[in-house]
Chains A and B, each alone.
Chain A
Amino acid sequence: MINTLRSELLRTRRKGVVIGWFGLTILFTVMINMVMAQVVGSSNAQPEGGPGVSFPTLDQWQAADGITAGLSSAAGMYGVVALSFWAIVTAGDYSSGLIRLTASAQPDRVKLLLGKVGALVLWTAAVTTVALIADLVIAPVAARSADLDVSAWGRDALPTLAGAWFNLFATLLVWGVIGLVLALVTRSAAISISVGVGYVLVVEAVITAALDAIADWTPGATLGALAQGGTSAIPYGTALTLGALYTLLGLGVALVVFKRRDITD
């Protein structure tokens, strides 16, 4: 499996992937912090969010872990980026025909898939780190522009940053696995991304509106809660468990689909 991981890392190291993924991550970090500075304002009322975005209150932003509020607020947006890149890298093998070459060079499809997943997990860790670093640079600038009192931000810096990193990483991992499954099933990056984005923007909102009972179980809500370190509706432990379940379920489906389906065109 190490061979497939090394091989996959070499292929995913291409300029387009690095610039695209890192660039979008930085762009979203800048955007969310700047918008947050505008919408959070001076009152402590809960600002309105949007699809994939939930802003903190003023108190939450000013708290010790507020410096990373941008990351958890935009977790849905980062998630769509992660889903897209996992899907592009996976479906790209089919559209380019590269899958024929790799599958005949490494006939053990489980190893082949786990190598790809391993490489994408490492990339996801790198992107999470880039997002965190970008946030550490941008958040103080945004806070200053909103005249925010951020004196608490220096306290417990290490656990705060480590927690934020892990929560975002775990969230992106689940989104990525969803992208992987969609790409393996549809063999099309465009369809996978459309389905993923469509789900976040439309489908989950409709499901939640129609079936209130499962609102706390849906992927979007679960991953939003995971990124924020838990919410009043979904505690951190529940979010973590559900996230792990989604990941395992997704990987299971991906393995079965990849192992059993023919590689034709």
Chain B
Amino acid sequence: MERNADRTIITVVGKDTVGIIAKVCTYLSEHQINVLDISQTIVQDFFNMMMIADMKNADKPFDQCARDLEVLGEEIGVNIKCQREEIFKKMHRI
């Protein structure tokens, strides 16, 4: 089976505020990470966003990007998490 190890799910959860998506997308574009899909919802008054991103051409390794985004999240006051897509595919697809 084809391994698509570069596809990453980025989730942003927290209190809604101006410019969350802009700041995350700015980081992604600065590091050559391509966004494939974005969806967004409000769960129990919390802003909840999920992005599917392709890190194939990213200029930094996965671990570094994950840490950078975590720090960025702390600055904005939201929780940003980077996970490889496979865990969700394995769990929710037969």
Asked if A and B are interacting partners, one says no
Q: B: which residues have CB within 8 A of A?
A: none
Q: A: which residues have CB within 8 A of B?
A: none
